[in-house]
Structure 1
Amino acid sequence: MFKAVHYTEVPEEKVEEKGAKGTHVRWLISNKDGAENFAMRYFEIEPGGYTPRHTHDWEHEVFILSGEGTVFCEGREWRIGPGYVVFIPPGKEHYFMNTGKEKMVFLCLIPYKR
């Protein structure tokens, strides 16, 4: 089914996974919308917040919209900010941390066929 909405119309959920702090997600496009291949998620991480350190069998494609932070992957860390793109390969432990003074906001796409 077709969908065209402002992102603020999509409910925001607190990320409750163990190891997360100050992180919220909006599932902008998901299987609830009829998407069969990919999900598009909108993340906001508060200053000093982070996503949980985790690993899974699927890739991520990430685009940083605003804020500053660090992404940890493959035992290293990279500084990221607006305009950066990040590819997380399958099976690689990773997490994002907001090291700035404003919210860090990014889009994250993941496959459904995992």
Structure 2
Amino acid sequence: MIIKKYSDVKAEPVPESGAKKATLRWVISEKDGAKNFFMRVFEIEPGGCTPLHQHPWEHEMFVFQGEGSIVREGKEVNVSEGEVIFIPPDEEHQVKNPFSKTLKLICLIPSRK
């Protein structure tokens, strides 16, 4: 078993082109012995975003601080603290933060993409 504070894991800039004012922390990964799922924490500053993208795997997100918007099918849907988001495989999506406080969310992805 591993227990740690997410804030002890180094935040790295989101590496994909089109990301702005967004970092991620690989809080559970293969380094921790995870074999099926990885857990990441995204922090998106006001005015920031992830790139608009899609991929062949699903993922799940949980907003644990702040508010933001999810772009899907060309429309923005606001999300806030305590909400969960399911993104099916191949659905184009983006996370934005048009608000005044940092958006923090947990994102789960499969270990084998």
TM-score (norm 2): 0.95
**Equivalent position of 1:68 in the other structure:** 67
Residue 17 of structure 1 corresponds to which residue in structure 2?
16
Find the aligned partners of 1:93 and 1:24 in 2 and give their Cα distance: 20
- SS of equivalent to 2:31: helix
Q: Deviations over 1:59-107 (max 9, x none)?
A: 1100001111110123322110101110000001100000110000000
Q: 1:36 to 1:54 in 2, by over 3 A?
A: same
Contact 1:27–1:42 (Cα < 8 Å) also in 2? yes
**Residue 99 (1) aligns with residue 88 (2):** no
In 2, the alpha carbon distance for the partners of 1:99 and 1:105 equals 13
Q: Which runs of 5+ in 1 are unaligned?
A: none
Q: TM-score, normalised by structure 1?
A: 0.94
Distance in 2 (CA, whole Å) between partners of 1:64 and 1:85 is: 6
1:3 aligns with 2:6: no
Q: Whole-Å Cα distance in 2 between the matches of residues 16 and 31 of structure 1?
A: 19
Partner of 1:82: 81
Identity %: 49
SS at match of 1:27: strand
CA-based RMSD: 0.9
Deviations 1:5-25 (A, max 9, x none): 111211111113110000000
Secondary structure, counterpart of 1:35 in structure 2: coil
The letter for the 2-side match of 1:21 is: K
For residues 57 and 16 of structure 1, the distance between their equivalents in structure 2, rounded to whole angstroms, comes to 19
Unaligned 5+ segments in structure 2 are none
Paired residues, what number?
Answer: 113
Over 3 Å off, 4+ runs:
none
